[in-house]
Amino acid sequence: MKVKIHGGVGEKGRTCIGVEQGGTRLLLDVGVDTSAPRGSGYYPAITPEELRLLDAIIVTHAHEDHVAALGWCFVNGFSGRVLMTTESAAEVDATLAAYATPQERELAGQSAPEIIAAGQDFNIGPLAIRTGRSGHVVGGIWCHLSAAEGSLTYCGDIVPASPVFAMDQLPPCDLLLLDASYGEDRVPAAERGAAIRRWLSAHSQSAVLPTPLSGRSIELIGLIEGPIAIHPSMRAALAQQIAASAWLKPGTTDLLSARLAAASLWEEGQALPAAVLLCDDGMGLSGPSRAALAQARREGHPVLLTGHVPKGSPADALLAAGKADWLRFPTHPTLPENAAIAAASGANCVLAHSCDAATARALASDIQNLNAELKPGDSIEI
């Protein structure tokens, strides 16, 4: 089995992993790098010829760094199968609307994805594929691929200790691609959540929290104890995620439903509400957060950033100007969690995705068999 890096290893963003076995070729995710200008660095490092030879693309979830290049693949010659969960399929168009060109969005929309379910086993050519819930978002999965020569597990984005989302146990493998988004972070999720609660308690009557529509928004609703406001465009998507109880931990659906039902609505042009305003996306690059962050900056309104902040984004500008606070919300594994996952996998080779090369090298002392030298364009054999 040959694995080729097209993005996301040795760098953050545009996650895209190629797998070839017995003449069958597929990609695991096709993300973009929102820190890069639109161009070669924005999209996966894969040629039109390689795209034309692909049999399939498997999408682990609908965040921009994992799916926003889907239409670009069609523009550049891909004509194969696209596989994802029902829940991810429902969110892809909104992601493409924010991060793809109109042509890319249109071509992706013309191709109906094949629906897979977490826990479902299926085959693409000689590759036996298993998936499981990732704990990161509703509809998010990890993927395990195996053939006679060996096996790999691609985590995508996972959260072993989410208070809301369920994660299924990862199987053993020969090659493991870990979600290293948080690098050397060792702070437990419970401690991160407590810090955010303290910040929210101090700003319970006025705060803006830009957040991805899928995943973190639901977890923040579970964390916020005071009044909540949302943009009207978010309500249906949030309600749909909360209703997908098979992806949630037992006992969370009723609480989340009640808090969403009680949320007030805010729209562009209105005064910022006397509540914690959740608005997508998490970086101010698209959606209602663009207007909300601009208004918060003009008015000196408190802003809390809780995830990745790309360089040059509105959220980055606020942070650099001292007009926003940043506290990491735990939506990826910590270093101790990744070390435990790697040890349990039995993998004789581990790659770190969603982090740069320097960070990967720093992880090698804690994660056995971590190869920190691969970069886009490189290949490895199992």
306-323: per-residue pLDDT in tens? 988 988 999 999 999 999
pLDDT of residue 310: 87
Cβ(367)–Cβ(178) under 8 Å? yes
Question: Residue 219 pLDDT > 80, yes or no?
Answer: yes
For the chain, which domains are there?
2-184+331-381 (3.60.15.10), 189-326 (3.40.50.10890)
Tens of pLDDT, residue by residue over 270-319, are 999 999 999 999 888 889 999 999 999 999 999 999 988 988 999 999 99
Confidence of residue 330 (pLDDT cuts 50, 70, 90): confident
Buried b (16+ CB within 10 A) or exposed e, 58-91: bbbbbbbbbbbbbbbbbbbebebebbbbebbbbb
> Which candidate, 29, 20, 381, places its Cα nearest to that of 179?
29
pLDDT of residue 214: 83
CA 58 to CA 67: how far, in whole Å?
10
DSSP 111-158: SPPEE--TT-EEEETTEEEEEEEBSSSTT-EEEEEEETTEEEEE--S-
pLDDT of residue 149: 86
Tens of pLDDT, residue by residue over 130-147, are 999 999 999 999 999 999
Mean pLDDT of the chain: 95
- Looking at residue 167, the DSSP 8-state letter turns out to be B
Q: Which residues pair with 165 in a beta bridge?
A: 248
The type of residue at 296 is: A
Tens of pLDDT, residue by residue over 228-243, are 999 999 999 999 999 9
Question: Residue 3 pLDDT > 90, yes or no?
Answer: yes
Confidence of residue 195 (pLDDT cuts 50, 70, 90): very high
**Residue position matching structure tokens 């101790």:** 336
pLDDT of residue 308: 86
Question: Residue 204 pLDDT > 80, yes or no?
Answer: no
Question: What spatial distance separates the first Cα and last Cα of the chain, rounded to whole Å?
Answer: 5
Q: How far is CA 151 from the centre of its chain?
A: 23
pLDDT of residue 160: 94
Q: How far is CA 145 from the centre of its chain?
A: 20
pTM: 0.88
The type of residue at 251 is: G
**What residues contact 16, with CB distance under 8 A and at least 6 apart?**
5, 6, 7, 8, 27, 28, 29, 30, 31, 44, 45, 46, 69
Q: How far is CA 24 from the centre of its chain?
A: 26
Q: Is 45 helix (H, G, I), strand (E, B) or coil?
A: coil
